[in-house]
Amino acid sequence: MNGQLIISAIVLGLSMSGVYFLLTVGLSLCYGLMRMISLDQFLYYALGAYMVYTITAATGSFWLGALGAMLTTLIVAFAVERLINKRVYSKPVMFSMILTFGVNLMGVGLIKYIWGLTPKPVASPIGGSLHILGTSVPGYRLFVILLAVAVYIAVQYFLNKTILGTAIRAGIDDAEKVEALGINISRLFTVTFILSSVLSALAGVIHAPFVMVSPEMGMSITAFAFMVVIIGGLGSIKGTMVSALIVGQVVSLGAVIWAPLAEMAPFLVMMIILLIKPTGLYGSKLMSR
């Protein structure tokens, strides 16, 4: 195994880690604050990919397509949260899983009706490559890595340095006390859900040039997304980032060593971590109840 192959695999793993993080940070936020497992995040991931394909094909601008995809998802997520999801916030987690899975299935059906079953290509908006230790690395993969880091910093700043973010963190710790202080917890739920959905759409947008956009793309990434959330610990943004890095590298390097390891190794890593720390790497004690 030569050094160039390893460097390429590491960069590929980091770029996939970026996609995993953007998709799963929403799952962590939704569970942390609302105690719901929002399976419809995978719908917004696919919707983001299809919207960037559609707008890019119409205008020739990937960046305009990315903006349009996130705005479209914001509108759809707001409607879903107000009309559907808010009805299960006070119910056990199983209710939210079943309801949001149904929303996901209906959304995938609509995608098939609107765009058909044929996979769609999205061209990379950034051409060229950089040389790292003698290895040619596509510039777009480096952009995805930097974008994921920027989003992580922005989310941490929002949660720790802004009044709204502080209220959300307080709600994650104790929603009842936050509501007793006069803060509208329902609005916090809406803001958190929309933020999560837009980040999921962004994951679909940046992943689209790596793959062919298809109706089932959300389903195909579900297992890896849940591994990231479980390994990191439900509700932990830091844990989500760390576990995304782990899963991305395990998948990428595993494929280089032996192709079946790309699917087997992440599950093995997850089982080992859960045996040592059942709440995940950064899961709180509350998550183990």
- Give me the residue label for tokens 């006390």: 177
Higher-pLDDT residue of 33, 50: 50
Higher-pLDDT residue of 177, 14: 14
> Angle at CA 264, nearest 5°, toward 231 and 252?
80
Identity of the residue numbered 197: S
- In this predicted structure, the answer to whether residue 253 has a pLDDT above a threshold of 50 is yes
Which whole-number Å values give the CA distances from 60 to 20, 149, 189, 207, in the listed order?
Answer: 27, 27, 36, 18
Q: Where are the domains of the chain?
A: 18-219
Confidence of residue 61 (pLDDT cuts 50, 70, 90): very high
- Give me the residue label for tokens 């298809």: 214
Structure tokens of 5?
Answer: 């192959």
Enter the pTM of the model: 0.91
Spatial distance between the Cα atoms of 232 and 152, rounded to a whole number of angstroms: 14
pLDDT in tens, 204-241: 999 999 999 999 999 889 888 988 988 988 778 888 99
- In this predicted structure, the answer to whether residue 173 has a pLDDT above a threshold of 90 is no
Which whole-number Å values give the CA distances from 49 to 125, 182, 261, in the listed order?
Answer: 14, 39, 27
pLDDT at 287: 44
Nearest Cα neighbor of 197 from 54, 80, 53 is 80
pLDDT at 195: 92
> How does strand 129-132 pair with strand 135-138?
antiparallel
